[in-house]
Chain A
Amino acid sequence: MTSLVTAGARSRALMTPYAFLLPALVVTAAVILVPVLQTAWMSLHDFVLFRPKDVPFIGFGNFQRMWNDEVFWISLGHSFLWIALVVGFQFLLGLGAALLLNESFWWRGIARSLIIVPWALPSVIIGLMWTWMYDFNVGVINDGLLRLGLISEPVAWLAHPDTAFYAVILALIWQGFPFFAVVVLAGLQTIPAELYEAAEIDGASRFQKLVYVTLPSISEVIATALLLRTIWVANSLDVILVMTGGGPGYATHTLPLYAFLKAYSGMEFGYGAALALVLTALLLVVVFIYVRRVARELSR
């Protein structure tokens, strides 16, 4: 009898955490797992939205098509460059801004509030705003450069393949650097002043303090911010869609944008799903590193 009670109590104890987790698991399954499985199912079919009654199973046909699709490779290449440049420059700019905002000056409070503005603006507004700033006819960038004598005639920034991609990247760098600034600033404020005092006593220069005290102290914060931002930037297509729609030609095509265009313009949901899955698989590597870090921090 005693052993039965013990067994019952033990199984209840075993089940209790799962019962608490169940609502979250059900919601996660409904909003994440089911769509992911649906996407995987679609990727194996020739699913065209306007032919809902004719959805043949084609196995890995969509992936085979992708392999031979020039635009897929162009988009993939752009995606890597996109992530590296956007995240890299956002970080450098954000770090610089955070170091400045960590200094004390009388309008520091205002500066810290203002720096959030780009991050707080909706992406579509940012896309439209930069499109008009780059505009060939009435754009403020061309106007400014002409007045400064740096160019002799307006430049069609978004219409030329050599400049369009980098013009969009610049807009996104502007949008995202406040994230790094805020995160790094929060990290900087956790560094004990004693470390700097000790470094000063040892005769460290400003640069040495940055390299040997500041950066090591916030390396964990930086790593987490970099990983998170990589995931977000890799997924983002809103600003490109608004600014260039992927053009001119394929000059600003990235993988998520190409998947989006295939699905929502061509209505080829099967092929679009396959493209999205490849992106997901690539992102899983970054996600895995990120989740491992988070789990490690939690278990400390």
Chain B
Amino acid sequence: MTKDNMTRKKGIGRRRFLQLAGAGALAAPFAGSFPAPAVAQGVTVRWWYHFDNPQHSPAELVAKFEKENPGIKVVAESIPWGGGNDYYTRLFAALVAGNAPDCAMVKLNNQARLVEMGALEPLDDMLKGWNARTDITEDIWQLNRASDGKQYYLPLQYVVLYLYYRPDLFEKAGVAAPHTFDDFLKAAKALTRDGVFGFGMRGGAGGHDHWGPFVLGGGANFRKGGMVSDKALAANRWFVDLGTKEKVFPPSAPTDGFRQIIDGFKAGRTAMTIHHVGSSNEMVEALGDKVSAVPVPRAPDGNGWTSFGDESNAVFAASANKEAAFKWITFLSTAENNVTFNGFTGQLTVTTSGMANWKLHPKRFVEASEQSLAMAGVLPDSPKTADFVRTVWPTNMQRALLGQISPDDMMQAIEKHFHG
């Protein structure tokens, strides 16, 4: 009997064992994760947050809250944002695993999913007893209300997207800051020369904020058939043509993300782009008074649309400390606390009293934001919105800009995504 046969007779041989173990270990590229044990510690409130600048910490606000509310301890957990993907993947996984925090910072594009899974606690009853409620304008409450009429989100900060432009380049080209689509096209064409492009378009993730003003403002909407109406198709063709025919977007536009559009603008490679007050200090630091802002242009019929960039706090239905969690999130949305909080995030306070004496951003950008509120809108309160933002819009926009599909095919794909 050979040595090999002897081994085999005793059961799994070494070779076989190695084969099985090795195959298992190497062939499993995607491993699941194990739910951590649920935490329930009386009046300890776990709160998830994300700040773009990791050097900022809400510790000072936590200390102030704990001093004012001796019975409640707040554990603030910083969660990586990762363009939203990391944050929400962790949040949904924690909710499914039963280890979610008591409350967390949340955005509207995931509200419908959270509502659908029954994860959110309606705040309506608790809000009735909150005195500072009226310090947040009704417009902002309205934008944050769920489609079932309930208030799950407590507004925390906001931005409204506007059009950045370079007054010096505009002056040189002999054009004025645009207010209509026609003005915009005229200016973009005049500015596109000598290696400068009229508009720094963001074709990567998050770029729907650049598409919305021209296509949603131009007549498209997310209701059934709203993406494939004649008006919607024409608006999208016009927008895609800016890149493919008018060539006023840089060739890198299909994959440009936040950093590329901001740096391109700062470097003088583009003369206009769309973003919000969150980048205004960085812009001013680089360009001084050679940067200004106006609301995004309006369509020929006078309609307009720009993205309302929201951020709220929500309390989770599974929390054992809902009232304490509510106390903490209302603390954050109250006057001076909210101003302090926005100092960490670089966005705008949701409180009227805080806005009255706003010093965190140059006035012209705050004014452009306020003027834009009238046409600010949000994406639909649908479970499909998050995937639209992350993959459906970027993929189809990129293909349309590269001529792989027609602008109409792009709109058909969006219509199909939302309505089948």
Contact = CB atoms under 8 A, between A and B. Distances in A.
A265 B391 contact: yes
The 4 closest A-B CB pairs, nearest first, are A136-B252, A295-B15, A156-B252, A156-B251
Contacts of A235: 29
Nearest to A264: B89
Most buried by A among B24, B118, B203, B263: B24
Interface stretch (B124-132, B294-302, B397-405): B397-405
Contact of A50 (B24, B250, B383): B383
A261 B89 CA distance: 11
B117 A248 contact: no
A154 B195 CA distance: 9
A207 to B, nearest CB: 36
B327 interface: no
Interface string A25-43: 0001001111110110000
Contacts of B116: 50-51
28 contacts: A32-B24, A35-B33, A50-B383, A135-B260, A136-B251, A137-B252, A138-B267, A156-B250, A159-B256, A160-B251, A244-B255, A245-B204, A245-B255, A248-B402, A249-B398, A249-B399, A249-B404, A261-B391, A265-B85, A276-B30, A280-B28, A287-B27, A291-B18, A291-B19, A294-B18, A295-B18, A296-B15, A299-B4
A164 B260 contact: no
A55 to B, nearest CB: 11
A156 B387 CA distance: 26
Given A159-B203, A265-B390, A267-B92, A292 B19 contact: yes
A196 to B, nearest CB: 35
A137 B387 contact: no
A298 B27 contact: no
B280 to A, nearest CB: 20
A64 to B, nearest CB: 18
Contacts of B255: 156, 158-159, 164, 244-245, 247-248
A174 B260 CA distance: 24
Contacts of A28: 21, 24-25
A298 B269 contact: no
Contacts of B113: 50, 267
Contacts of A215: none
Contact of A295 (B19, B92, B269, B386): B19
Contacts of A222: none
Contacts of B25: 28, 32
A284 interface: yes
Given A136-B251, A247-B255, 7 more contacts: A52-B95, A137-B264, A156-B253, A245-B204, A246-B395, A267-B387, A291-B23
Interface string A80-121: 000000000000000000000000000000000000000000
Contacts of A31: 31
B10 interface: yes
Interface in B27-82: 27-33
A137 B267 contact: yes
Interface in B360-408: 383, 386-387, 390-391, 394-395, 398-399, 401-402, 404
B93 A49 contact: yes
Nearest to A39: B30
Most buried by B among A49, A256, A287, A291: A291
A221 to B, nearest CB: 18
Contacts of A298: 14-15, 18
Contacts of B386: 265, 267
Contact of A39 (B4, B21, B32, B395): B32
A280 B118 CA distance: 34
Nearest to A24: B21
Contacts of B29: 235, 256, 276, 279-280, 283
A156 to B, nearest CB: 4
B254 interface: yes
Contact of A266 (B96, B263, B391): B391
Nearest to A234: B29
A35 B254 contact: no
A249 B383 CA distance: 23
Nearest to A263: B30
B161 interface: no
A290 interface: yes
Given A136-B250, A159-B256, A248-B398, A284 B23 contact: yes
Interface in B203-229: 203-205
B149 interface: no
B92 A291 contact: no
A245 B255 CA distance: 9
Interface in B134-149: none
Contacts of B402: 160-161, 248-249
B26 interface: yes
A267 to B, nearest CB: 7
Given A138-B263, A138-B267, A14 B85 contact: no
Contacts of A245: 204-205, 255, 394
B191 interface: no
Nearest to B114: A50
A295 B14 contact: yes
Most buried by B among A161, A265, A266: A265
Interface in A252-281: 256, 259, 261, 263-267, 272-273, 276, 279-280
Contacts of A50: 92, 113-114, 116-117, 383
Contacts of B401: 248
A21 B383 CA distance: 47
B18 A284 contact: no
A11 to B, nearest CB: 11
Contacts of B383: 50
A35 B30 CA distance: 8
A17 B24 CA distance: 21
A16 B92 CA distance: 44
A231 interface: yes
A201 B196 CA distance: 67
Nearest to A259: B30
Interface string A139-176: 00000000000000111101111001000000000000
